[in-house]
Chains A and B, each alone.
Chain A
Amino acid sequence: MTTYLEINKKQVNEEKWEEPFYLNMGPQHPSTHGVLRLFLELEGETIVNCTPIIGYLHRGVEKLAETLNYNQTIVLSDRLDYIASAANNTAFALAFEKLMGLEVPRRAKLLRTIVCEMARICNHLLWLATHALDIGAMTVFLYCFRDREWLLNIYEKICGARLTHTYVRIGGVRQDFTQEIIDELYKFTEEFPPRIYDYETLIDVNRIWLKRTKGIAVVSAEDAINLGLTGPVLRGSGVPYDVRKFRPYDAYGEVDFIVPTGKNGDTYDRYRVRMEELRQSNRIIRQCLDKLSETEGEPVLAENAPDLLIPEKVRKPEPKPVPKKGVIFKGEEVPVVPPGEAFASIESPKGELAVYVVSDGSGKPWRLRVRTPSFVHISAIPFMAKNHLIADLIAIIGTLDIVLGDSDR
């Protein structure tokens, strides 16, 4: 970091400087969506070189997870990608279930699929709002937030929280939906598709929007795979890779949906892919809601799921504690988690979210590794921003859909 500072100081102190011109963008820049810092080397307004500097939001989640038990770790996952926390919960829970050999009940799988797709709609709406705002389309922002608000209210009814809802638990979900929530969701799925159409009429053929997005940050399919790009960014380049189709988890194997792809791999195509995904997510929610009536009254949590740990300091010991089979720290740890390793990945709204966990037979993970999509996507910015204007850099940051909490962990 000192090297960049030195360059800046030198540039300021010297009365006359020659090109290239160095510029710091961030970490407190409104359109970097968090604390991303980009060190730019400019020639006029063209970017010659771009170095992303991250780590300003590093909270040490991986180290912290080694001191907590498995159920507590799921709470940490909410704080990674806080826009779509249901997806993170699911990724962690899937890895732990694989490790413990738990079978999740079908109803819980359906409920998980619904909250995951709701998270995808939330995420894409927020992405569309901020991306359009960055480029200059103000109106979309307000409409998107109206719809997102509706979904957040449904989340509040489901589990009481709006952003960091630890709704997904190891072995299932926390509680069942009430009839009120199901009715509300039916209403949402009916009213939402015409609204997507409304948003498209706002910007789809808007001349400014087309000029700012067409042909910007073109990534070929081969480059995209080599750079490790996933999610809508990869599909915009025409590669139909989607973890939901390639390695189905939860209830994605039994629902019908299409994986939309683009052709040119530019910013506009990625926008089109995400708009199609909104429709597909809506379809998936609808199908899962229909299937929910088949599994009425079934359990939503596996029988041998580990019990939630309530710290002894907070709660006074009851006269007759009835310990369920699970991890209980009372001097001695009960090894319920077999030693070994597990790898699980999901299609989070931003890309592929993979969790690799190593267990040593105790109640806490030995090592927990989270591969987050934002981390990889930020590493691709130098490649994508080369020979573009500074104004296009804003569009590139927007189109990658990054959250710094997700990348810094």
Chain B
Amino acid sequence: MEELLSELKEKFPTVIIEIQEKDYFTLICKRAGFLDLMKYLKDEKGFKYLIDLCGVDYLEYKYKNFKERFEVVYHLYNLDNKTLLRLKVRIPEEDCWHFSVTPLFRTANWFEREVYDMFGISFKGHPNLKRILMPDDWEGHPLRKDYPVYLEEEQEWKTYKELKEKIKEQS
């Protein structure tokens, strides 16, 4: 594992900012050149299985030592030598986009749609980027930290409000 990490650091000095050793090895990456790193990991190093792709909102997080708001976290797995690798990319709020890895891993298709739905991070190169769990005409991105858990009545979903009024008229 250490060999792989040093090799990666040598090959992609501009992409990898930092290597952390936590429960699994974690690579903090830059957005530019990230796709090349993923392609290299998949094709040359055997990390063929993307376990998970998710977003995290670090708005007003107490132990934060970086200035960007979001993080996109990848968990990659190598089925041959049983190693798990975590990759993180930090996304600033005002420039809220990232490269899509769907051309490499078809699993990422729905994961990225979910991140877009929940956090509003758009993915460049995604074939069909639209909401997945929430209705298409929903406003806001629910998993952001500044989105309330309980909505006030005037903030309710538009379609639901229309339906309620319709029922009132009929009864």
| A376 lies within 8 A of B107 (CB) | yes
Contact with B along A212-254 (1 / 0, CB 8 A): 0000000000000111100000000001010000110000000
Cα–Cα distance between A67 and B22 once the two chains are bound (Å): 26
- Interface-central residue, B48, B49, B50, B147, by most chain A CB under 10 Å: B49
| B62 lies within 8 A of A356 (CB) | no
Which residues of A, 90-111, contact B by the 8 Å Cβ criterion? 98
| A369 lies within 8 A of B54 (CB) | yes
Nearest residue (CB) in B for A224 is: B49
| A1 lies within 8 A of B136 (CB) | yes
Interface presence of B23 (CB below 8 A): yes
Cα–Cα distance between A408 and B135 once the two chains are bound (Å): 12
| A2 lies within 8 A of B75 (CB) | no
Chain B residues, CB < 8 A from A383: 106
- The answer to whether residues A98 and B135 also contact, given A228-B49, A356-B52 and a CB cut-off of 8 A, is no
Contact with B along A66-77 (1 / 0, CB 8 A): 110000000000
Interface presence of B40 (CB below 8 A): no
Chain B residues, CB < 8 A from A126: none
Mostly, the A contact residues are mixed
| A343 lies within 8 A of B63 (CB) | no
| B24 lies within 8 A of A60 (CB) | no
| B50 lies within 8 A of A228 (CB) | yes
**Smallest beta-carbon distance B95→chain A, Å:** 21
**Smallest beta-carbon distance B1→chain A, Å:** 14
Mostly, the B contact residues are loop
| A228 lies within 8 A of B105 (CB) | yes
Nearest residue (CB) in B for A367 is: B56
Interface presence of B79 (CB below 8 A): yes
Number of CB contacts from chain A to chain B under 8 A: 93
Interface presence of B143 (CB below 8 A): yes
| A358 lies within 8 A of B56 (CB) | yes
- The answer to whether residues A58 and B133 also contact, given A345-B51, A371-B51 and a CB cut-off of 8 A, is yes
Interface presence of A341 (CB below 8 A): yes
Cα–Cα distance between A367 and B49 once the two chains are bound (Å): 23
Chain A residues, CB < 8 A from B66: none
Cα–Cα distance between A371 and B74 once the two chains are bound (Å): 12
Interface presence of B100 (CB below 8 A): no
Cα–Cα distance between A60 and B134 once the two chains are bound (Å): 10
| B110 lies within 8 A of A352 (CB) | no
Chain B residues, CB < 8 A from A1: 135-136
Chain A residues, CB < 8 A from B73: 356, 369
Interface presence of B86 (CB below 8 A): yes
Interface presence of B61 (CB below 8 A): yes
Partner of B110, one of A60, A339, A341, A375: A375
Cα–Cα distance between A218 and B134 once the two chains are bound (Å): 32
**Smallest beta-carbon distance A275→chain B, Å:** 24
| A361 lies within 8 A of B51 (CB) | no
- The answer to whether residues A55 and B135 also contact, given A225-B48, A246-B82 and a CB cut-off of 8 A, is yes
Nearest residue (CB) in B for A379 is: B110
Interface presence of A190 (CB below 8 A): no
**Smallest beta-carbon distance A306→chain B, Å:** 19
Nearest residue (CB) in B for A228 is: B107
Cα–Cα distance between A361 and B22 once the two chains are bound (Å): 16
Chain B residues, CB < 8 A from A409: 133
* A contacts, CB < 8 Å to B: 1-2, 54-55, 58, 60, 62-64, 66-67, 98, 225-228, 239, 241, 246-247, 339-343, 345, 352, 354, 356, 358, 360-361, 366-367, 369, 371, 375-376, 378-379, 383, 408-409
* B contacts, CB < 8 Å to A: 22-24, 48-52, 54, 56-57, 61-63, 73, 75, 79, 82, 84, 86, 105-107, 109-110, 118, 132-137, 142-143, 147, 149
The 10 closest A-B pairs by CB, nearest first: A228-B107, A379-B110, A371-B52, A369-B54, A55-B133, A58-B133, A367-B56, A339-B63, A1-B136, A225-B49
